[in-house]
Amino acid sequence: MTKMVTETLRRGPIMASLLIAAFVALLSQTVLNVALPVMMKDLDVTENTIQWLSNGYMLVNGVLVPISAYFINRFTTRRLFLIASILFAVGTLLCAISPNFGILMTGRLVQAAGAGILMPLMSIVVLTIFPVEERGKAMGLMGIAMIFAPAVGPTLSGWIVEHYDWRLLFYIILPLAVIAVVFGAYAMKNVIQTSNPDLDVLGVILSTLGFGGLLYGFSDAGRDGWSSSIVIACLVVGGISLLLFITRSLLTRKPLLEFRVFQYSMFSLTTLINVIVTMAMFSAMILLPIFLQNIRGFSPIESGLLLLPGAILMGIMSPITGMIFDKIGARWLAVIGLAITVATTYEFSDLHIDSSYSHMMLLYTLRMFGMSMLMMPIQTAGLNQLPRRLNADGSAMSQTLRNVAGALGTALLVTVMTNRASSHAKTLMAGGETDPVQIQMLSTTYGINQAFLVATWMTVAALVLAFFIRKVKPQETPQQTPSPSEAQAQQ
């Protein structure tokens, strides 16, 4: 068993290794957003197929993150960090040498396997080595690297795909992934207490079928429609499996994913808000590059440069937001941030085929400014209520639901865009429009606007919930209702 001696740890090198790994993982994800339209043409696939480079990534995360709590309790911090980093590096190599969509998709899934372990591990390490009163600042530092990647990613991606083959993106990331492995081997220490838990195999099967079925069903609905037998079958199997998984988790003494973390009210509230915000956030990340390049005709690098100021501002604000959080808590940060997000998301629902570059840049920058007040403070506020013994479970649950929300949000909004665009195209043709190019541009713009309108109502719901956030401290000795199996063991 690894003994925790956090008082004598040098936190600087540990944080540095976490930041490098987080930067590389998120850079790999964000460089694809601007490149997707070019990759779609080069690989000769549709919008619904190309989104699987993002959705498949999140699907594997949705499967692996629930198991991460088991891994974190079973293996030492250093070993688990190295395994995750090496997996990510191998996946990046596969993407770089991929001759077709199949190999590229395989590489993305291997990357996701590494990230699915890495991201919750980072959260639990920060919660372990920093006291409550310093966690906001620590999360803010993590936010710099995690937001600097979206700042660099789109612009780098735009420049690369405009002048070179998109595979060069992964060749640039590969040495950074190797550096993350090498530096982590030197700097990462064992900070989390380990044990020898049993793996709930049935829980793994049910969670895989549950989360996987729902994700695939929602994503495929964008291509085949909601009446498709495959879509219906996936949603039914996913829903039933998830219900069985939750039931089993509540009745099992050592579940794969600890749903009893939701007995902590502030963790439940902040997790729900984060789920909604994550779903809404992906609207701009997926839909805006499609609009900029396919409708407005901007080059990939111009698309990347439009996103750059917002990402830089978000990076600057991250440590500031963290320090403010340590002093006043998350409520008013979340309320102000969500008010800005609601207003800017609504403005994005009124795009036109002649919308100006500067107008969209301003809107996106303001939207990122609002987002900078949300993600880290809200997540930290919820995790702060959990006792230390539930840190790994809370982190895994939070990360799982955010990944699922990201994939479902993307699938839902792309589905809204596709279906509304198709419907509007028929309306235009019925009205006498005969130019196919004009019909496609107008109908796609209409579909994107409708997707942003759905995202606006999501953020309105999150804004209402944000008023109920309050500052809490960890409950080390919570009043907990034992599960049936625990009650039987006590008798």
pLDDT band at 9 (very low <50, low <70, confident <90, very high): low
Beta carbons within 10 angstroms of residue 130's beta carbon = 17
pLDDT of residue 90: 94
pLDDT band at 145 (very low <50, low <70, confident <90, very high): low
What type of residue is 427? T
pLDDT of residue 480: 43
Mark whether 216 and 284 lie in a shared domain. no
pLDDT of residue 151: 66
pLDDT at 47 over 50: yes
In order of 142, 180, 211, the CA distances from 408 in angstroms are: 26, 30, 10
In order of 18, 23, 82, 85, 149, the CA distances from 182 in angstroms are: 12, 15, 9, 9, 20
pLDDT of residue 46: 75
Mark whether 342 and 428 lie in a shared domain. yes
Mark whether 282 and 148 lie in a shared domain. yes
- Residue 480 maps to a domain: no
Q: Half-sphere exposure of 122 toward its Cβ, with a 13 Å CA cutoff?
A: 27
Rounded average pLDDT over 405-418:
79
pLDDT of residue 94: 92
- Residue 71 maps to a domain: yes
- Residue 329 maps to a domain: yes
Alpha helices by DSSP H, 51-100: 52-74, 77-96
pLDDT band at 487 (very low <50, low <70, confident <90, very high): very low
Nearest to 291 by CA among 374, 217, 375, 363: 363
| 464 exposure class (CB count in 10 Å sphere: 0-12, 13-18, 19+) | exposed
- Residue 146 maps to a domain: yes
Mark whether 243 and 136 lie in a shared domain. no
The enclosing H or E element of 450 equals helix 436-466
Between residues 453 and 57, which one has the greater pLDDT? 453
pLDDT at 489 over 60: no
Tokens of 7: 């008082």
Q: What CATH number is associated with residue 321? A: 1.20.1250.20
pLDDT of residue 223: 62
Mark whether 97 and 162 lie in a shared domain. yes
Answer with the one of 220, 255, 290 that is the final residue of a domain. 255
Mark whether 367 and 432 lie in a shared domain. yes
pLDDT at 475 over 70: no
pLDDT band at 453 (very low <50, low <70, confident <90, very high): very high
pLDDT band at 41 (very low <50, low <70, confident <90, very high): confident
Mean pLDDT of the chain: 80
* DSSP secondary structure code for residue 228 in this structure: -
Instruction: Kindly give, in sequence order, each residue whose CB lies less than 8 Å from that of residue 229, ignoring residues fewer than 6 positions away.
Output: none
pLDDT at 400 over 80: no
Using CA atoms, how far apart are residues 30 and 37, in angstroms rounded to an integer?
A: 14
Using CA atoms, how far apart are residues 404 and 200, in angstroms rounded to an integer?
A: 21
Answer with the one of 238, 255, 272 that is the final residue of a domain. 255
Nearest to 379 by CA among 368, 370, 391: 391
Between residues 72 and 464, which one has the greater pLDDT? 464
Query: Under DSSP, is residue 127 helix (H, G, I), strand (E, B) or coil?
Result: helix
Question: At what angle are helices 265-290 and 391-430 packed, to 10 degrees?
Answer: 40
What string of H, E and C letters represents the secondary structure of 149-203?
HHHHHHHHHHHHHHHCCCCHHHHHHHHHHHHHHHHHHHHCCCCCCCCCCCCCHHH
pLDDT of residue 481: 40
Rounded average pLDDT over 281-287:
73
Tokens of 357: 């570059």
- Residue 163 maps to a domain: yes
Residue pair 219/170 in contact (Cβ under 8 Å)? The answer is no
The mean-pLDDT minimum among 74-83, 325-334, 398-407 falls in: 398-407
pLDDT band at 92 (very low <50, low <70, confident <90, very high): very high
Mark whether 127 and 241 lie in a shared domain. no
Using CA atoms, how far apart are residues 45 and 380, in angstroms rounded to an integer?
A: 39
pLDDT at 456 over 90: yes
pLDDT of residue 464: 95
Nearest to 92 by CA among 112, 62, 72: 112
Please tell me the pTM assigned to this model: 0.75
Tokens of 236: 């039914």
Number of domain units in the chain: 2
- Residue 491 maps to a domain: no
The mean-pLDDT minimum among 1-5, 52-56, 213-217, 247-251 falls in: 1-5
Tokens of 182: 């090498």
* CA 180 to centroid of chain Cα atoms: 20
pLDDT at 158 over 70: yes
The enclosing H or E element of 364 equals helix 357-371
pLDDT of residue 7: 45
User: For the chain, what is the radius of gyration of the CA atoms?
Assistant: 22
Nearest to 453 by CA among 445, 465, 441, 463: 445
Mark whether 375 and 310 lie in a shared domain. yes
Rounded average pLDDT over 364-390:
83
pLDDT of residue 476: 54
- Domain hosting residue 194, numbered range: 6-199+256-474
pLDDT of residue 120: 77
Between residues 192 and 104, which one has the greater pLDDT? 104
- Residue 158 maps to a domain: yes
Mark whether 367 and 230 lie in a shared domain. no
Using CA atoms, how far apart are residues 491 and 489, in angstroms rounded to an integer?
A: 6
Answer with the one of 255, 274, 293 that is the final residue of a domain. 255
Mark whether 216 and 190 lie in a shared domain. no
Between residues 388 and 485, which one has the greater pLDDT? 388
In order of 230, 327, 369, 384, 401, the CA distances from 317 in angstroms are: 44, 15, 8, 21, 25
Nearest to 308 by CA among 475, 464, 158: 158
- Residue 485 maps to a domain: no
Tokens of 59: 């699907």
pLDDT of residue 89: 93
Q: Half-sphere exposure of 77 toward its Cβ, with a 13 Å CA cutoff?
A: 26
Rounded average pLDDT over 185-207:
80
pLDDT of residue 335: 93
Tokens of 319: 């440590």
Mark whether 291 and 234 lie in a shared domain. no
pLDDT of residue 11: 76
Mark whether 234 and 248 lie in a shared domain. yes
pLDDT of residue 203: 85
